[in-house]
Amino acid sequence: METRSTSEEILRRTIEEFWETFPSLWHNIRARIREVATEEFDITVDQFHILRRIHKGRDSVSKLAEAKHISRPAISRSVDVMVNKGLVTRTQVPHDRRHVQLALTDEGNALLEAIFSKNRDWMAGKLAILDETELNTIQVAMQALSKTLG
């Protein structure tokens, strides 16, 4: 019985620590992405996330709308802006004329990589104060969170 209550207490403390930590972390990360994307590369955070999702294989307006939980017309408007900026291409699929495939242009890939690089450098600066054991612990924790919440 004591094992169960100890496990329940650990679970409770873990959940409390999660909610104390992650909202603040996510706020800081989003602020950094916003700063880099808007101030240095003249794209919105939403456009950044759309580019990232296209890069990860979501290659249609429908797939993007589903992933972002917003309407197809809203995604389509954002995609239009990125097509006009030369970051994304639309290609009609020959065997299904209703399906339009999205892809990043070379410029879109370069922009995304530049943002990733700046954010990796920023994170490396933040995490540099941790020792190897702490970094390994974070990696294991992220894998566990991804497995359970991802």
What is the span of the domain harbouring residue 88? 2-149
pLDDT for position 4: 67
pLDDT, position 47: 92
Q: What does the chain come to in residues?
A: 150
Neighbours of 45 (CB within 10 A): 15
pLDDT tens digits along 91-102: 987 887 778 899
Main-chain phi, psi angles of 17, to 5 degrees:
-65, -40
pTM of the model: 0.78
Question: Splitting the chain (150 residues) into consecutive groups of 10 residues, what average pLDDT does each group show?
Answer: 76 94 91 90 91 92 89 91 95 80 96 95 96 96 91
Residue pair 47/86 in contact by the 8 Å Cβ criterion: no
pLDDT at 119: 93
Number of structural domains (the chain) is 1
> What's the Cα-to-Cα distance from 50 to each of 60, 77, 127, rounded to whole Å?
11, 12, 27
Q: What CATH number is associated with residue 83?
A: 1.10.10.10
